[in-house]
Every structure is written in C-alpha cells, then in structure tokens.
Amino acid sequence: MIINYLAYFTLCLTLLQIYFLQNKLWKRKHEQSVTESISISALLLSTLINVIMSLKNMDSNNVPGTVSNAFWIFSNIFVIVIGSGLWVANKKGVSFWKLVRQALHLEKKEATYLLNYMMGISNADIIIRILVGISVIDDVLDEKEKRFIEVFANTWKIDIDWEKTISQIREGDFNNRYIQVRTDVIDYLSTGPHPEQVAQLIDLINILVRVDEDFSENEQLIVEELSGICNNYLKKDDNQPVFYTVIVPQNQEQEVSIININPEIKKKEQIFGGSAYMDGPFYSEKYANIICDKYRVVNLFSVAVPHRDKTEGQDGIITGK
C-alpha cells in the first residue's frame, strides 16, 4: 500500500520536474542559441523509449508508470517544437517540418563533436598548424604534402588559407619556423592528450616529411627534436640524449639581454667554472645550436652541451673534463 502511494507521489514530482524544465525553455524559446542546443534526435529516441515502456506498463496495469511515460512523451513533443526554432525571429514563415529537417541537419553535422572532444580531436586545429609548419620548414610546400594535410583538415572540417598561412610562417627569421613548430607541439602536449594520440602524432609527422620522397636536412632536424619532446612526454626512452644551450654573460648588460630574450631562463651557478644561464632542455644538438644562434645574434657567448645523469658533472652537464 505504501509503495502505491509513493508511486503516485513520484508521479507528482515528475510533473513538477517537467514543468520546471519547460518553464526555462519557454521563456527562451525565441533565442536561436537555445533552440540549437536542443537535440531533437535524443528527444525522438526518448519518445520511442517511453512509448514502448508505456505499452509494457499498460499491459501490467501499472497506472503511475503509464501516466509518467505519457507525461514524458508530451514533454518531448513540446521541446521538439521549441527546438525546431518555431519562435525564432529569422525563421518566421518557415513550415514546422522544414524547421525540424533543418534542426536535424545541423545536429548531424555536430553529431561527433563530443566524441571528438573525448578522443582529443578538439586539438585538431593545433595539429593542423603543426603539420603545416613542418611542411614548409624547408621553404618548399610540395603538392603531396599539401594533399596529405588537407585529408585531415577536411575530415576535421578545418579550412586552411594556404597563402596566408605560408606568408605568416615565412615572415621574420628562418629559425623562428623551428621555434614556432616546437612551441605548437609543447602547447599541444600541455593539454594532456592520451599517450596513444601522441604516438600517432609522431607517426603522422614521420609520414608527412617523407610523403614527397625528399627527407630534407631541415625536416630531419625538426623531426628529431619533436620526436624527442613527444618521447619524453610518453616516457619512452630514459636514455634519450638531452642538450642545453649554455649562455655565459660577460657583464651586467649582457645578463639583461639574456633575460630580455627569455624571461623564464634560470641562472645556474658554477658551470664551466663560472656563472652561466641554461636554456632547454632540447632533444637535438642541431636544434640546441639554433637556439644558440638566437643568443649569438646579439653577441652573447652560447654553446650547446649534452646533459646526462647528475653524476656526470655539475648539474648533469658534461663539461668534457
């Protein structure tokens, strides 16, 4: 007996719940962003489920269950009407069924959004930027490289303005291209992608640089550095060589110059028998030398040195002693 009373009580709560939901939507029924946030597909599925359950409840003489299913069926129909955009100003005069078709078409285009986000494809834009940056690292964009990148861009519905993008990449110092691509990879890894996705990115990069059958020296350099960064993220190789750029200031003015170039750089004491700054870590000696050039261009003494276990020299720096 008590269970029956509770069943009718939950029926009242269901009606109250539906009212609160509909009340919020009704007030905002004219807002396009609200109508577009309503999934008509989900509501249709919910309606089908409730029709089936109501038939089952009717067959077992479950009155509260049947009435509850009926409430949700009418609620879903009500929300579908709102979700169609019937009250949105710029959709006035369009038939209801056409509005429903438009809403379902929009939902179809957005159907994989959450799945893509969960799979890490929300980073698709930065991945494309990395691939484009690598493709022009040698100052030549091969058609095969371009088509390869566009396959992924089209899949992820990303439009690439090649002329604008390449123009931006070619601006400034040539070495900035290496630095920008490396920065993009670090930004990507900072989002915490799944290790499997990072491993796939390494494979993708290696395929890209070989797709034109010309694995240039510039491409070898950036692939070595990016692979090292990704492998470090994956903790794949404990014996991976690591390099630092050591900058030795000769006076206070040069110290200010170093900090201006890299405000985050840290000063290390007693390196090479004196005081110096270290920039890094880097995973390619050639890339470390590119960073050296960044300091040398303003007449700062800098050198790329390997870094190993801390038992090998002060702070792990191999000094050649």
Q: Could you tell me which of 182, 189, 290 has the C-alpha nearest to residue 232?
A: 189
**Both tokens of residue 32?**
């396009």
Q: Which residues contact 295 (CB under 8 A, 6 or more apart)?
A: 245, 247, 258, 261, 279, 302
First to last CA, the chain: 90
Q: What is the pLDDT of residue 68?
A: 92
- For residues 107-126, give the mean pLDDT: 59
Cβ atoms 279, 258 nearer than 8 A = no
Decide yes or no: CATH 3.30.70 for domain 242-316: yes
pTM of the model: 0.54
Provide the percentage of residues in the chain whose pLDDT is more than 70.
85
Q: Hunting for tokens 């170093």 — which residue is that?
A: 258
In tens, the pLDDT along 184-220 reads 899 888 888 888 888 888 888 888 888 777 778 888 8
Find all residues with CB under 8 Å of 312, minimum gap 6, and list them: 318
* Per-residue model confidence as pLDDT tens digits over 20-42: 988 988 989 888 888 888 888 88
Residue 120 has pLDDT above 60, yes or no: no
What is the percentage of the chain residues whose pLDDT exceeds 90? 11
Residue of 76, 79, 82, 84 lying closest to 102 (CA atoms): 84
- Two tokens, residue 313: 């020299």
Q: Which helix (DSSP H) or strand (DSSP E) does residue 305 occupy?
A: strand 301-307
The pLDDT score that the predictor gives to residue 311 is 36
Distance CA 240, CA 290 (A): 19
How far apart (Å, rounded) are the C-alpha atoms in residues 307 and 319? Answer: 9
DSSP-H helix ranges across 63-175 = 63-83, 96-110, 113-118, 124-135, 143-155, 162-170
In this structure, what token pair is assigned to residue 231?
């492998």
